Amino acid sequence: MSSYIKESQYFGEKAIVFGNSQLEAVLVPGLGSNLISLKSKSKNADLLRVPESKSQYEKNPCLYGMPILFPPNRIDRGMFTYGDLTYQFAINEEKHNNHLHGFLYDKPWELIKQEQNGESVRIVTEINSDDYTSITEQFPHSFSIKMTYTLDGSSLSTNATISNHGTTKFPWGLGYHTTFNLPFSADGALEDCTVSLPVDEHWTLSERKLPTGDIVKLTDAADFQQGISLSGKLFDDVYGYEKESELVNEAVITDHNEGIRIHYKCDKRFGHWVLFNGNGKDLSGFVCPEPYTWVTNAPNVELPDSVTGVRELKPGEEVNLISQLIVDTF
């Protein structure tokens, strides 16, 4: 069966449905270019958590699909200084007086290309900061981000291209709040599922969920790397790995009963992982292994940029960031 691309509607927004003989995905450019759905055809399983209604999605859009975070996670009081500029982001986590998850995940993106070739499909979306005063008021730079989604066989890869179109440098951090629907079947059990992360360090967080600057070596790093059960456990934790580590930078999400294993590979610039699976009140049937290029509140953490992941993009420069979901069935 060859690949295909179809236009559809998702909560009143134009959606792109694309697939091949193994996987089918739904991308909604108008909802932050969210890859809202990814299905395994052979298992008839939703791999990403999908909302049941528009109102459910709007309550917390970062808990469905694969939201794009720029910058990722929290900024203390929404404020930091870099070079000669002091940035003030909106406070959207009032409980902790933080800014949370950036300003792109809820903006409409433009669909600029869709093409197919055999079993392969490529979809490209883009957002330009100059089109949104709500972005430039917080982050006064001219930049664009282009997302290229490539579906090929049993893999879906993403290439994020960040381009600086302005006359000043800026700091940047990118991440994904990828929310997997675990277990992968409605009658599945969390006891049959494991998640592994390529980590050996744990960042200590304050009561406001901000790094204190203390980094602790994981005594159970081998367990995390081989796969842990989430049964009876709640996570909202920040992890990292030593830059000299030879670990493959991938999370592995496995439903042993359903026979599905997902390898979530990221390039080495995604040097931090957040593991989140609930709100402290219940276990909600999902898990978010979130790859970040910078750690939570990175510009305000008093550690070297090589540790926090803060990077800068000079005028005229661009950077490409690669990640990939590989779906194995057994």
Give catalytic residue positions.
177, 290
Amino acid identity, residue 267?
Answer: D
Taking the C-alpha atoms of residue 142 and residue 204, their distance in angstroms, rounded to an integer, is 34
Taking the C-alpha atoms of residue 137 and residue 277, their distance in angstroms, rounded to an integer, is 33
Concatenate the DSSP letters of all residues of 195-254 into one string: EE----EEEEE-TTS-EEEEEEE-TTHHHHHH-B--TT---EEEEE--TT-----EEEEE
Buried/exposed 267-277: b ≥16 CB within 10 Å, e otherwise: eebbbbbbbbb
Look at residues 35, 42, 67 and name the one whose alpha carbon lies nearest to residue 261: 42
Q: Please report where in the chains the tokens 């409605």 appear, as a residue.
A: 186
Question: Do residues 129 and 137 lie in contact, with contact meaning Cβ atoms separated by under 8 Å?
Answer: no
Taking the C-alpha atoms of residue 210 and residue 74, their distance in angstroms, rounded to an integer, is 7
Which residues fall within 8 angstroms of residue 161, CB to CB, at 6 or more apart?
Answer: 145, 146, 147, 148, 318, 319, 320, 321
